[in-house]
């Protein structure tokens, strides 16, 4: 539609010029010494237009001739840039394809051609790292830092990641500290720092970072839970020789972080440190909070082996749990063991036999055999020993 409009406009203009020239009777008179020239106005206008076009064509041709060297330089520079960009793209593609040697070669060529020098150096560093050539890796990291100040943050991130993979965790933390000074913390950097602090065993730092990442939903819930467990287990192992500090730590432990393995490890550490009272409180709180769970058996074993404090109170507590879980063989075994220790022979035998009725186990047979030995019922004891041996052989 637009082309048709301009075509009509051109025809209209041509018609207007033709009509105007036909109606124009004017002329021009040029008077020179001894010479007089008379020319129609229409002829003069046409000649003037042709002269202008000729002059424009001559000047345009001269301009093109004199600009040829500059245009040639621009052409060569453009071809050079296009070739350099192609080499950079090839380096990225080869890196992702896993062809690290060729990726390193192309990245070097792109860097020499000054195509995204900083990024080319980073690609070369990653390729060298995958090829297990640490000297070249460090060389290219240094080049990346020097080539382009804009890639300094990316260089520090890549360096920290590589140092983590090489298990040089302290150096990785130093790189991340430099990054934090420049750009603050972001999620990817926090993840790298978390890995570094796990590597050096800084469990307090691991807990702090895990909580930050959990608030930002930056880690899957399963990873958050497992990381917290590992951190608490590490701190419990570190504080195992200082029961006072361990007790303070456990009392400050959030309820939602008192997982199965954490409570078990803490109770074992407290028992090893002769802090049976604290271990008893911890186990009882765990039972009250968690109820029947897969780790119940391990905690029941510890609970049944407590000797200090008030054993009858512990038996009463366990019997209260039995009302909720009357068919739990492990709980019945623990009650039988505690009753036998308190010389409550009848209750001990009843609980142990009930445990065997629910699930015959070697520990229950042994406990019942030892009970019969204490009561000098040796024949019955021998039968329980034989039953235990048969289960062991099976």
Average pLDDT over every residue of 26-41: 72
Residue 345, in any domain of the structure = yes
Average pLDDT over every residue of 137-159: 86
Average pLDDT over every residue of 90-101: 90
> 345-358 and 362-374 are packed helices; what angle lies between their axes, rounded to 10 degrees?
160
Q: How far apart are CA 149 and CA 253, in angstroms?
A: 45
> 41-97 and 100-112 are packed helices; what angle lies between their axes, rounded to 10 degrees?
140
Distance of CA 313 to the CA centre of its chain: 49
Which has more confidence, 130 or 19? 130
Residue 113, in any domain of the structure = yes
Q: What is the pLDDT of residues 269-288, one digit of tens each?
A: 998 888 888 888 888 888 87
pLDDT at 392 over 80: no
pLDDT band, residue 6 (cuts 50/70/90): confident
Residue 31, in any domain of the structure = no
Average pLDDT over every residue of 54-76: 82
- CB neighbours of residue 190 within 10 Å: 19
Into how many domains does the chain fold? Answer: 2
Residue 110, in any domain of the structure = yes
Helical segments of the chain, H only? 2-23, 41-97, 100-112, 117-130, 134-147, 152-165, 169-183, 187-200, 203-215, 221-239, 243-251, 260-272, 276-290, 296-304, 311-324, 329-341, 345-358, 362-374, 378-393
Domain that holds residue 90: 81-147
Which has more confidence, 21 or 202? 202
Residue 344, in any domain of the structure = yes
Domain CATH number, residue 112: 1.25.40
Residue 195, in any domain of the structure = no
The token pair that represents 255 in the structure block: 């309820």
Q: How far apart are CA 205 and CA 196, in angstroms?
A: 10
pLDDT at 138 over 60: yes
Phi, psi of 253 (to 5 degrees): -70, 125
Domain CATH number, residue 378: 1.25.40.10
pLDDT band, residue 299 (cuts 50/70/90): confident
Phi, psi of 29 (to 5 degrees): -120, 120
Final residue of a structural domain among 147, 165, 193: 147
Share of the chain above pLDDT 70, in %: 93
pLDDT band, residue 290 (cuts 50/70/90): low
pLDDT band, residue 209 (cuts 50/70/90): very high
> pLDDT value at position 34?
77
Q: Is the dihedral of CA 365, 366, 368, 372 positive or negative?
A: positive
Poorest-pLDDT segment among 319-323, 334-338, 381-385: 319-323
Residue 115, in any domain of the structure = yes
> pLDDT value at position 25?
66
pLDDT at 119 over 70: yes
Average pLDDT, the chain: 85
Final residue of a structural domain among 147, 176, 191: 147
Nearest residue to 372 via CA among 391, 392, 349: 349
pLDDT at 121 over 80: yes
Final residue of a structural domain among 106, 121, 147: 147
Residue 274, in any domain of the structure = no
């Amino acid at each position: 539609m637009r082309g048709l409009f301009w075509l009509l406009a051109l025809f209209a203009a041509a018609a207007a010029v033709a009509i105007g020239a036909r109606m124009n009777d004017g002329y021009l008179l040029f008077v020179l010494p001894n010479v007089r020239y008379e020319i129609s106005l229409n002829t003069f206008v046409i000649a003037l237009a042709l002269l202008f076009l000729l002059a424009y064509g001559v000047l345009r041709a001269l301009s093109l001739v004199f600009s040829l060297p500059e245009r040639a330089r621009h052409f060569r520079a453009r071809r050079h840039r296009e070739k350099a960009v192609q080499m950079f793209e090839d380096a990225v593609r080869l890196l992702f394809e896993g062809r690290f040697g060729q990726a390193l070669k192309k990245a070097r060529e792109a860097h020499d051609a000054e195509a995204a020098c900083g990024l080319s150096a980073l690609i070369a560093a990653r390729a060298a790292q995958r090829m297990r050539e640490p000297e070249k890796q460090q060389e290219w990291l240094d080049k990346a830092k020097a080539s382009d100040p804009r890639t300094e943050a990316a260089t520090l991130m890549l360096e920290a990641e590589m140092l983590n993979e090489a298990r040089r965790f302290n150096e990785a933390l130093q790189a991340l500290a430099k990054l934090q000074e420049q750009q603050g913390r972001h999620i990817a950097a926090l993840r790298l720092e978390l890995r570094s602090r796990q590597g050096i065993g800084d469990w307090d730092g691991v807990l702090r970072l895990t909580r930050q990442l959990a608030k930002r939903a930056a880690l899957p819930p399963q990873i958050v839970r497992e990381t917290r467990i590992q951190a608490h287990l590490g701190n419990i192992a570190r504080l195992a020789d200082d029961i006072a500090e361990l007790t303070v730590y456990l009392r400050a432990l959030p309820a939602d972080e008192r997982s199965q393995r954490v409570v078990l490890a803490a109770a074992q550490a407290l028992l090893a440190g002769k802090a049976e009272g604290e271990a008893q409180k911890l186990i009882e709180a765990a039972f009250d909070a968690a109820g029947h769970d897969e780790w119940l058996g391990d905690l029941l074993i510890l609970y049944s082996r407590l000797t200090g404090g008030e054993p009858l109170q512990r038996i009463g507590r366990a019997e209260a749990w039995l009302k909720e879980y009357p068919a739990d063989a492990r709980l019945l075994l623990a009650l039988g063991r505690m009753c036998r220790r308190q010389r409550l022979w009848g209750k001990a035998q009843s609980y142990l036999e009930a445990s065997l009725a629910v699930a015959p186990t070697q520990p229950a047979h042994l406990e019942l055999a030892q009970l019969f030995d204490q009561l000098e019922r040796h024949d019955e004891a021998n039968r329980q020993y034989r039953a235990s041996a048969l289960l062991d052989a099976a």
